[in-house]
Amino acid sequence: MKLPLGDRSISPPVLLAPLAGITDLPFRSLVARWGAGLVVSEMIASGEFLTARPGTREKAELGAGIENTSVQIAGRAPEPMAEAARMVADMGARVIDINMGCPAKKVTGGYSGSALMREPGHALRLIEAVVGAVDVPVTLKTRLGWDGDTLNAADLARRAEAAGVRMIVIHGRTRCQFYKGRADWAAIRAVKEAVSVPVVANGDIVDAASAREALRLSGADGVMVGRGAQGAPWRLAEIAHALYGAPAPVVPRGADLTEIVLEHYEAMIAFYGADLGVRCARKHLGWYMDAAGTAPQMRREILTERDPAQVRARLRVALEDALAEAA
């Protein structure tokens, strides 16, 4: 199955969600290698991007050979949003995504992210500015609404489609829910029925079973996976195989898993540099070690170690010992 997106398509319709501090270039590269219809960058604040604040441009860095990449931008004013969109398109982004779903207080406090769902008129002006600035497809990611009394995702989606947005992604919670409770996949159906462009369901989709149920309840055309891919960059490929018959991924086990984890670690060190890379890699290493069943003491030692060489050496022992015991 393919999702039409301008002059291109998304196949399989299983997408990697933008996750702050997680979906950087090294992680997107891994996920794309196993198989994903689209991978989305961390959210980029348009104002910070234009002023070249340290670390912001790196979030949008695409990497050679990663074609199905979307760069997500956020902001409050139309002009900076449009200029940021032009710049990331020039950098090679194949798709521009507008964030109107982030619930974080530091984002909504600046009247961007999901705060824009309280101002649909202003939100539409931002959408029109971005669509008018670039030739690549523009997509929109929102939540169901600001709170339970303002479930306006369907209306915003309808207006966004009229403005030229080519795909809508809906997280099945309101902003005020943050990540509490369960995503309401059934509520996404109202958005699907309101527009003719593809609609993608997001929220609490962690495996093939949850993806299948999200599609059944929402009627959506595809799924977006976020936290379910943490420590398992092959998860999207597993879902695509189960739901759409895509090639089955070879999930690494034993020594193969150790090599993948070390490869991911080396990519992060190369991308960020040793000092920052060690810190940024900790969350990923923690997820890998949790899945492998690494002993708590060893896990703690690795995640507090600052020397990359020591991390490499201890990580190999930690993973292989844990996997051997599990076998």
Beta bridge partners of 40: 70
Residue of 3, 82, 87, 102 marked catalytic: 102
d(CA 20, CA 26): 14
| Secondary structure of residue 302 in the 3-state scheme | helix
* DSSP-assigned letter for residue 226: S
d(CA 53, CA 45): 10
| Secondary structure of residue 14 in the 3-state scheme | strand
Contact 140, 130 (CB under 8 A): no
d(CA 113, CA 202): 16
Q: Is 102 an active-site residue?
A: yes
Give the phi and the psi of residue 112 in degrees, each rounded to 5. Answer: -135, -170
Give the catalytic positions in this structure: 102
